[in-house]
Amino acid sequence: MYLGVHVSAAGGISRAVEEGLALGCEAIQVFTRNQRQWRPKPLRAAEARRFREAARAAGYAGRAMSHASYLINLCATVALTLRRSRWALVDEIRRCEALGIPYLCVHPGAHMGAGEEAGLALVAESLRHAIARTTRRVTVLLENTAGQGTSLGWRLEHLAALLRVPRTGVVLDTCHLFAAGYDLRTPRAYEKTMRAVEETVGLERVKAFHLNDSKAGLGSRVDRHEHIGRGGLRGTAFRRLVNDPRWATIFGVLETPKASGMDWKNLRLLRRMRTEPPAGAGRRRRRTADAEPLVRDRARPVRRRGPRGRAGREEAEHPRDLGR
């Protein structure tokens, strides 16, 4: 499996490629627009060209993914939110087209009490709306969810039903799988989950992974990402995953909490777990796995104070929290 990180587009989206190279990424994930706004700034042609050229030179052209805005709810029960969500998805796909990014990751949505069957039907309708208005250069990847609230996609059967829409695939999040009740910790549990993937969505429709440990327990349906090896999944689950020959030609990206320096440390840990890097993966690294990071993670520090007023450790917002 090729390994990468969700990198920052602060200062211009082409800067994301620079950060990916500095971290030694073999793949990258980015936001192509402001996650807090329904009407983001337009993407300038010159900036799109710089990103395409930089991504091609770095070897990311086929291993880049954009994560859609968390404001989007493709089965919203409020008409205005649904309309905004559909056009936001169209805009996300068109940005990927302009940037040469082949994959767009999106959460199916939350049915808000309408029920799973009605929600899935509306998600499929929303996907068809966006697919009909965009070109074939971008595949929309549906992400499995932890199952909080009325979120759809926590069962693999939900994703399988949505794959009837053309130009769709799947990105599997390890934290979400675990929280939804799909175990990966032992050889037997791992194979049981992989069989479930094969029998529902199909291995060939899985195009990428989100590599995250879980603060919450198995089947908790609570979405809380943790650093690799520090949560309930343990390091053995990730060692098994990154060395699985079924996933040798696809990529996985980290979405772990953005504490200072942790992207580099999590990525280094995964690389050490991997017994053999995929073909050509090592050529694009600008430094060895044990070298000090060239850049600090671009994330907003948040000072937390302990019970007696002492400053706690610095933490940062995870990209997952930006749209909530």
User: Catalytic amino acids?
Assistant: 36, 67, 70, 107, 143, 173, 176, 210, 223, 225, 255
Q: How far apart, in Å, are the Cα atoms of 288 and each of 6, 22, 238, 259, 292?
A: 20, 10, 21, 21, 9
Alpha-carbon distances, residue 143 vs 37, 153, 168, 257, 304 (angstroms): 21, 7, 11, 18, 31
DSSP character at residue 224: -
Burial of 323 (0-12, 13-18, 19+ CB in 10 A): middle
Buried b (16+ CB within 10 A) or exposed e, 190-205: beebbeebeebbeeeb
Beta bridge partners of 314: 303
Sign of the dihedral defined by the CA atoms of residues 203, 206, 208, 209, in that order: negative
**In the 8-state DSSP scheme, what is residue 256?**
-
CB contact at 8 A, 21 and 284: yes
Strand pairing category for 64-67 and 213-214: unpaired
Phi first, then psi, for residue 213 (nearest 5°) are -80, 175
Tokens of 251: 């990529």
